[in-house]
Structure 1
Amino acid sequence: MSRATRSALVLAALALVAACGEPNTERDASQQPQGATLRVTIGTQAFPEALVLGELWRQALAVNGYTVDLRKAVGPAEDLDQALRDGDIDGYVAYTGTVLSIVAGQEVSGLDPEQTYDAVEDYYDDQDMEVSEPTPFENKDAIAVADAFAEDNGLTSIADLADLAAGDGVRLGARPEFEDLYLGLEGLREVYGLGDVEFTPVELGEQYALLDDGEVDAVDAFTTDPQLRGGGFTLLEDPELLFGSQNVVMVVDEGKLDSIDSDAFMDVIDTVNAQLTEDAMVDMNAEVTDGRGEADVARSFLRRVGLMTPLRG
C-alpha cells in the first residue's frame, strides 16, 4: 500500500474515531469474534519511552480485536531486528535513524525525516518486511542550554556555539561515549566548528542538573527527555542535521500481516502514530519518570484522544 493511500486511511480512521462516542474498555473490545485468531507478538527496547510505545500499540490493537503478546526489553535495535528475522516476534518499536545506522549500516547525518523514512522503507522492502507510517515526533540527540544562557548569548542553533567556542570556549556535558562519536563531539567539531570544547562526562539523566548548577554551558539531550516538560531549557536547532532523524515506526513481517488483515492492523498503528506529537511524548515520558506505570500512562492517553474505541464500526 502506498504512503498516500495509507495516510488517507489514517485520516478517515481519525474522523471515524471522533464520531464514535464513549470508548469501550479493552475487555469489551477484545471479545470480538476474531480476537482469538488475530494474534501478534511485538517487541520493544528497555527504556521507558519504548515501553510506553509498545503499550500504546498493544492496547489500541486490543480494542480492535487483536491479541497482542508484548515482549518488553527484548534488547537494542539489532537484537529486535534479529528476533524479527528469527520469527521470535512479529514486529517491533523502531526508530528510523537507528534502523538506518545500526541495522542497515547506512549514513544518517544530513537526512531529513522523509529521506530517512524512505531509506528505511527501501531497506526493508527487499526483505519482506513493512514499516508503518512514522510518528510526528522524533527522539534524537540534541544540544540543550539553559534558557537564560541562550538569551544572553543569542543562541538559537548549534552553529551559534562556534563563536563561543572560538572565544572563551564551551563547557559541554554528555554521556561518556559522546566524546568519541561522530554523532557526538567529533561531529560537532567537524560539522559546526566547535574547536575549543571542555568535555565533562556525565551519566545519562544527570546532565540537566549540571546546567542548573552552572557547571556546564551545554549538554547532550534527547528531544523527548521528560526534563524538558517543565521549561527552563532551550534545544538548539541542528540545521545541518548532524544527528539525523529519529521518528518511530513499527517494523513488521509481511507474512504475518497477510494472516492478520494487514490493512486493519496498519490502520490501527498508523492512527495511533498520528497522535504522537513531541509534546505528547514528553508528557508521557515525564509521567513514567514520576513513577506511573507505562500501561496506565498509555491507557490514559488513548482515552484522551478517543482511541479506546474500535476504529471499524
Structure 2
Amino acid sequence: MRSLRRSAGLLLSVLLLGSLMAACGESSERDASSQPQGATLRVRIGTQEFPEAQILGELWRQALAVNGYTVDLRKGIGPAEDLDQALKDGDIDGYVAYTGTVLSIVAGEEVSGLDPDETYDRAKDFYAGQDMVMSEMTPFENKDAIATTAAYAESNQLAAIGDLADVEGLRLGARPEFEDLQLGLTGLSDVYGLSGVEFVPIELGEQYAALADGQVDAVDAFTTDPQLEDGDVRLLEDPERLFGSQNVVMVVGQDKLDSIDADAFVAVVDAVNRTLTEKTMVDLNAQVTAGRDERQVAAGFLRSVDLMTPLDLG
C-alpha cells in the first residue's frame, strides 16, 4: 500500500511539473517582448503559390531568423482570400500580401486610379478593422501592364498605353479572361480609347514567346516578370492607373504582435521591404525561374544588402 501511495505521489509530482513547464512555455510566448535579443520567438507566415511570393516569404524568414525569430514558412497556401481566412482562423500569424489585391479581392473595393499611397492607406484602414497590421510597403509593384518589344515601341513611338490608340490593326495577346475584364481589354477601351483591337487569347506564361515570334504586337504582362530582365521587352506607362497599385506588405495579426517583440519584428520586415525595387525583384524572379532554389536566392540577396546579420535595434 505504501508503495502504491509512493507511486501515486510520484505520478502527481510529474503531472504538476508538466503543468508548470507548460505554463512557463505559454508565459514565454506571451512575455516575449521582455525577453533578451536572440530569444526564440515563433511566427507562422503564409504565401501564395507563385515563385515571387515564395521568394518574399524566404527573404522575411531568413532576415527574421538572424534576429532571433523562428519562422514556420508555409508556402503555397492559396490566393489572397485563402491567406486572409487562414489568418483569421489562427492557422498562420502573417502572410505576403499585395495592396491592390487586398483592396479589390479581400475588401471588395475599386483599385483603378489609386496611387500606391492611396491604396496602402485604404488597405491599412481595412485591416485595422480586422485586427490586422500591415508593414511598410515595398518600393516595387507587381501589377498588370501592357508590353511590346523594344523595337516595336520605338518604331511606333510608344511610351504609354494611350499611344496604342493610334496603332491600326493592333493585336493584343493575353490570358483568355482578360478580354472581358475592366482591368483588361474592356478597361483599356474605356480609359485609353483602344478600339478595333484584335484580341488573341494566350495562356498565361506563353505571352512572351508569342510576342517574340510576332504572333501579337502587345501583351498583358506583370511588372516583375523575369522575362523583363534582358531589356528586349518594353512596359508602357499606365498614367491613369487603370491597373491600380500592387505594392507588397506583410500582414500580421494584432494578437501575434502583442505577444512578441513587435517593434523588432516590424523593423526587420520593413528593413527587408525597403531594399526591394522593381529591378531587384525582376532579377530574383529570373534566378528562380532559371532553376535556383528560392532559399539560396534569398540568402544571397540578403547578404548583398547586409541583412544576414542582426539589426542594431538601439
TM-score by length of 1: 0.87
Q: Secondary structure at the match of 1:240?
A: coil
Instruction: Give the letter for the 2:105 counterpart.
Output: I
Task: Provide Cα deviations, 1:22-42, integer angstroms capped at 9, x if missing partner.
Answer: xxxxxxxxxx97656410000
Q: Which amino acid aligns with 1:106?
A: E
Paired with 2:136 and 2:292, the residues of 1 have a C-alpha distance of 28
2:178 equivalent in structure 1: 178
Matched with 1:275 is 275
1:88 paired residue number: 91
AA partner of residue 146 (structure 2) = I
Q: Check if 1:287 corresponds to 2:280.
A: no
Alignment-derived partner of residue 140 in structure 1 = 143
Larger Rg: 2
Task: Please tell me the root mean square deviation across aligned C-alpha atoms, in Å.
Answer: 1.2
On the 8 A contact 1:35/1:67 being kept in 2, the answer is no
Report what 1:113 is aligned to: 116
> Could you state the TM-score of these two structures normalised by the residue count of structure 2?
0.87
1:312: how far off?
Answer: 2.9
AA aligned opposite 1:79: D
Identity in percent? 74
Structure 2 segments unaligned to the other structure (5+ residues): 1-34
Taking the aligned partners of 2:176 and 2:302, their CA distance within structure 1 comes to 37
Task: Note if 1:220 corresponds to 2:220.
Answer: yes
| CA offset digits 1:266-309 (Å, max 9, x no partner) | 00000000000001100000000000011110000000100000
Which residue of structure 1 aligns with residue 30 of structure 2? Answer: none
Deviation at 1:194, TM superposition (A): 0.8
Residues in 2 aligned to 1:281 and 1:33: alpha-carbon distance in whole angstroms: 34
Task: Report the Cα distance in structure 2 between the residues aligned to 1:128 and 1:187, rounded to whole angstroms.
Answer: 34
Once the two structures are overlaid, the 10-residue window that deviates more, 286-295 or 175-184, is: 175-184
Q: Secondary structure at the match of 1:122?
A: helix
Mapped to 1, the partners of 2:213 and 2:291 lie a distance apart of 25
Matched, 1:125 2:156: no
Partner secondary structure for residue 98 of structure 1: helix
Q: Deviations over 1:196-247 (max 9, x none)?
A: 1111111112111111111111000000000000111110000110000000
Deviations 1:87-134 (A, max 9, x none): 110000000000000000000000000000000011011121100000
- Whether the aligned pair in 2 keeps the contact of 1:179 and 1:186 (CA below 8 Å) is yes
The one-letter amino acid of 2:156's match is: N
Moved more, 55-64 or 119-128: 119-128
Assess, with a 3 A threshold, how the Cα gap between structure 1 residues 68 and 35 changes in structure 2: closer, same or farther. Answer: farther
- Where do 1:198-277 residues align within 5 Å? 198-277=198-277
Q: Which has the higher contact order (CA 8 A, sep 6+)?
A: 1
Give yes or no for the alignment of 1:151 onto 2:157: no
1:6: which partner in 2? none
Instruction: Specify the alignment match of 1:97 in structure 2.
Output: 100
